[in-house]
Chains A and B, each alone.
Chain A
């Protein structure tokens, strides 16, 4: 298993009353699997993604990512795991505004100390996402779709074992969204990466192997589409 969540709770302390955002979450994700987490606003999707990716700590429970118990690890240890094994795609792209497209893609590799081959790999990835002529452009000089494609290239640059995507097409129009979607799945297939997507878009969710539905912080269904399709 590449990802395992056991009895995960996330509770925010309130002035009058505590708020339970995630309530006893349990699931496993196999290597190479593609998974969507869906649910209405406020159901705890993004919180769960943040916990799984090691961006936050659960109140209780155990999270294992690529064999490492990330819920127990220090921030610096988690940073290392993220750098070596995880890729991210965000709804609002989250490119570093002061870096060019090429530098944004290079940075995960540089953080690993692999500066030598970083440039060539970043150029190759940018070409792969159709941005070969835009290396030196800053995020503010790119359209939303282009920014998300840079983000895709960056996400795959460190050859992650698992990729987390938070509403990857949420800020894009249908046509651009589709282009990004296709690129995401194509790259994922090529690189044999595990993919976890948080989305409202059921069409996108249906393209993954499995859908977990959240409601009120609890898993209400965990459906494998692969099996369903094959039946």
Chain B
């Protein structure tokens, strides 16, 4: 190889054409920027999890469950440390007298010096230290702003009215999205009993926080006692667990974002490949001359490889720099998701990873079309033809390397060969389908284009298969971009649509729980006074499973060969009794017994999942502890429960005639006609029954919409990269293709075609390209979202076609617009000038 001449020729040859490759560069820049921004953000997030998990937990260890910690365990915990705090947490209605409104809240009753690490941030700051000294409440800042509350106003929780002592600025330790459903209110643990909110069947969680000496090996301590705590249904969380939980929670988010970035990079690479392909085509004549003058095929290849490689590396460097800047924006976008502020520092590993991935992928994608340079014959100096350059068999090796590098990158994200392989296959399938459609289109148009169609139509559509057409590149890039956009719209619509469907028509949309048995009549009267129907008003009895199939629960728990799941064994059973099964449930085994006659065996009905969880079948014996009384029952029937309706559903149903005298509370299901009635009804219920809670679908919907909007905001931000790159690929492809079209356009003009006609021909071509690619992308998205809805999210699949139609029109219009703007330059140029340069 004659390197000096190769380098010299590469520099000289690129001088006049660098601007042609600017768009090619910009797509790499964006793709790499997305990758680096996300990786840097991930690195910072992970390093901050390391430093902040202790202060997020607020203690060295927590122990908790849905009942107070049993005395048997307290002794073991007391020997560990003396610094402990306790917390009772429950969801309840609150009443705000100053504004006559009620609000569902997450109530926390705290006793002790928690948090031991980090701070409970309040306004005024002193409120965090003094709220436990008396009957005070700290109320979530967002809720106070919503209702215009001031410190000093009051909030009624159950039977007690508390003065608001301060604004709660941070919802401590709430990493999960559940915290958005109900704002937090903190009171002293000593005041919880006075509210009388804890009744049999109340959904309360108990948690103790512990601070230990720094030399204590908590994980070893936990390992030794794990079984004991689990048998009592108590969960032990150490700082190490918290760190792992956080890492797991964010690795999913991060993997998702990384995959979006990878798709952006791949989309950019399609741009790279298509730009290089066209660039090589424009260089065929130069290459032929060089070959004619004695340059070897490998040397000619190297001239153009050097050009593309250097430009690629430069673009990747710019991309890395921009990505590092963008990572500063990401925490703002992701604010709602993050439990703490992430400190942004330069992540060199992310920059190196982005650089390497960018260079490798860009080079591989450029190599595909560049390989053909080796096969350009010097004969093309004598005869100019549009014959395709023969393909190089080495390209298969390049394709294999591309697939391997994508799989490798995905493996570095997911750590699973199967997942990375499946995802690569998915990407490959999408690409192949789009390529297939493109091939089909070019073949179909060539074969079936009617010869009697109008001149404009014939010319425009013929451009789809003529030499130097952009059909494949554009269908793949526009199709993929459209596909991603549509998938997001469909999924968002499906998630919201499924929830909205729950309250549609005559379906109930409001549940009142925590009604005491003697308040049944009063509750029905209140409901009817609002002209609302009592759709369901059922009793609930809480009980525990004491044993089954002749063995006690303790025996079973110690049996390592048992097939029953722990969740089913330890679950606090909320049981109802009724004569007839709900018409929405489906009996799949046995006979439903509605009435129990004294002396007979008690035949109960189990939900399918619960029966599977316990691994019991028809006729099996189950023994229950109903708040001290032991009741022996047998499985009489198994039901498939329809959970989609907002009615109370019970895994365990007793016949009537057994539980009537047991301690119980009631659940009422009704339907409110509008928001105003909902608010008035809620206020009326809270006033006369402070321990009852009203959950309305409207507020769940608002919250859910909030969450979905937040999620989709992040997704859209990331998908924005893909779409932007898709657009750049589109612009660059069209921009480069215009050089291919110059000769045709000029000749048409020379032969007498007016500007308008050429515009119309181009419009037909781009409209066909836009609509075909958008349609294919939409089809892929529909299939993809169907699979996701069915197998991942378990949603009903009902499509709303209007937004999809909107996307279709938008993409087609955009393609035509960019296409026409591009051809404007060609159309406006003088034929003489162009002919001289062709």
Contacts and interface: CB of A to CB of B under 8 A. Distances in A.
Interface of A: 46, 49-50, 55-56, 75-76, 79-84, 88, 90, 92, 94-99, 103, 107-108, 110-113, 115, 138, 140, 154, 166
B9 A107 contact: yes
Contacts of B378: 55, 79, 82
A97 B16 CA distance: 9
Nearest to B374: A75
28 contacts: A55-B377, A55-B382, A56-B379, A75-B296, A75-B297, A76-B298, A79-B378, A80-B296, A81-B294, A82-B378, A83-B294, A88-B293, A94-B288, A94-B289, A94-B292, A97-B16, A97-B286, A98-B12, A99-B12, A99-B13, A107-B5, A107-B9, A110-B5, A111-B293, A111-B295, A113-B2, A115-B5, A154-B293
Contacts of B383: 46
Contacts of B661: none
Query: Max chain B CB contacts within 10 Å: which of A55, A82, A112?
Result: A55
Given A56-B377, A96-B290, A111 B2 contact: yes
A82 B292 contact: yes
A4 to B, nearest CB: 21
Given A99-B12, A115-B5, A166-B382, A88 B286 contact: no
A106 B101 CA distance: 89
B381 interface: yes
Nearest to B833: A140
A46 B5 CA distance: 30
A75 B382 CA distance: 17
Interface of B: 2, 4-5, 8-9, 12-17, 285-286, 288-298, 377-379, 381-384, 836-837
Nearest to B381: A94
B768 to A, nearest CB: 30
B317 to A, nearest CB: 25
A169 B377 CA distance: 24
A203 B2 CA distance: 42
Contacts of A55: 292, 377-379, 381-382
A40 B127 CA distance: 105
A108 B381 CA distance: 16
B381 A76 contact: no
Given A94-B289, A98-B286, A76 B16 contact: no
B16 A98 contact: yes
Given A55-B378, A56-B377, A98-B17, A115 B837 contact: no
A83 B382 contact: no
Contact of A90 (B9, B14, B17, B382): B382
Contacts of A81: 294
A88 B381 contact: yes
Given A50-B379, A55-B379, A98-B17, A140 B836 contact: yes
Nearest to B291: A79
A96 B289 contact: yes
A81 to B, nearest CB: 8
Contacts of B379: 50, 55-56
Nearest to B16: A98
B292 to A, nearest CB: 6
B286 A96 contact: yes
A90 B290 CA distance: 14
B392 to A, nearest CB: 14
Q: Which 8 A-B pairs have the closest CB atoms?
A: A83-B294, A82-B294, A98-B16, A55-B378, A55-B379, A110-B5, A76-B296, A98-B13
B276 to A, nearest CB: 17
A140 B292 CA distance: 21
The SS class assigned to the A binding surface is helix
Given A55-B382, A76-B297, A107-B9, 18 more contacts: A46-B383, A56-B379, A79-B295, A79-B296, A82-B292, A82-B378, A92-B384, A94-B285, A94-B288, A94-B381, A96-B286, A98-B14, A98-B17, A110-B8, A111-B295, A112-B294, A115-B8, A138-B16
B292 A88 contact: yes
Nearest to B375: A75
B294 A111 contact: yes
A112 B295 CA distance: 9
B5 A111 contact: yes
A21 B14 CA distance: 38
A162 B290 CA distance: 18
A127 B288 CA distance: 27
Query: Max chain A CB contacts within 10 Å: which of B292, B297, B836?
Result: B292
Contacts of B377: 55-56
A110 B12 CA distance: 13
A90 B378 CA distance: 12
Contacts of B295: 79, 83, 111
B149 to A, nearest CB: 73
A84 B294 contact: yes
Nearest to B9: A107
A115 B2 CA distance: 11
A3 to B, nearest CB: 17
A41 to B, nearest CB: 13
Contacts of A80: 294, 296
Nearest to A95: B289
Contacts of A94: 285, 288-289, 292, 381
Contacts of B4: 110, 113, 115
Query: Max chain A CB contacts within 10 Å: which of B285, B293, B377?
Result: B293
Contacts of B384: 92
Contacts of B2: 111, 113
A83 B837 contact: no
A51 to B, nearest CB: 10
Nearest to B288: A94
A214 to B, nearest CB: 15
Contacts of A88: 292-293, 381
Nearest to B289: A94
Query: Max chain B CB contacts within 10 Å: which of A50, A79, A166?
Result: A79
Nearest to A87: B293
A76 B288 CA distance: 13
Contacts of B297: 75-76, 79
Contacts of A97: 16, 285-286
A97 B384 CA distance: 15
B38 to A, nearest CB: 39
Given A46-B382, A55-B381, A98-B15, A108 B294 contact: yes
Nearest to B836: A140
Contacts of B288: 94
Nearest to B298: A76
A160 to B, nearest CB: 11
B150 to A, nearest CB: 74
Contacts of A98: 12-17, 286
Given A55-B379, A94-B381, A79 B289 contact: no
B56 to A, nearest CB: 61
A198 to B, nearest CB: 9
B119 to A, nearest CB: 66
A110 B498 CA distance: 72
Nearest to A85: B294
A79 B290 CA distance: 10
A94 B290 CA distance: 10
A164 B13 CA distance: 25
Nearest to A88: B292
Nearest to B282: A97
Nearest to B384: A92
A49 B8 CA distance: 30
B382 A49 contact: yes
Nearest to A108: B293
Contacts of B17: 98
Contacts of B837: 140
Nearest to B2: A113
Query: Max chain A CB contacts within 10 Å: which of B9, B289, B379?
Result: B289
Contacts of B294: 79-84, 108, 111-112
A213 to B, nearest CB: 20
B12 A103 contact: yes
Nearest to B13: A98
Contacts of A140: 836-837
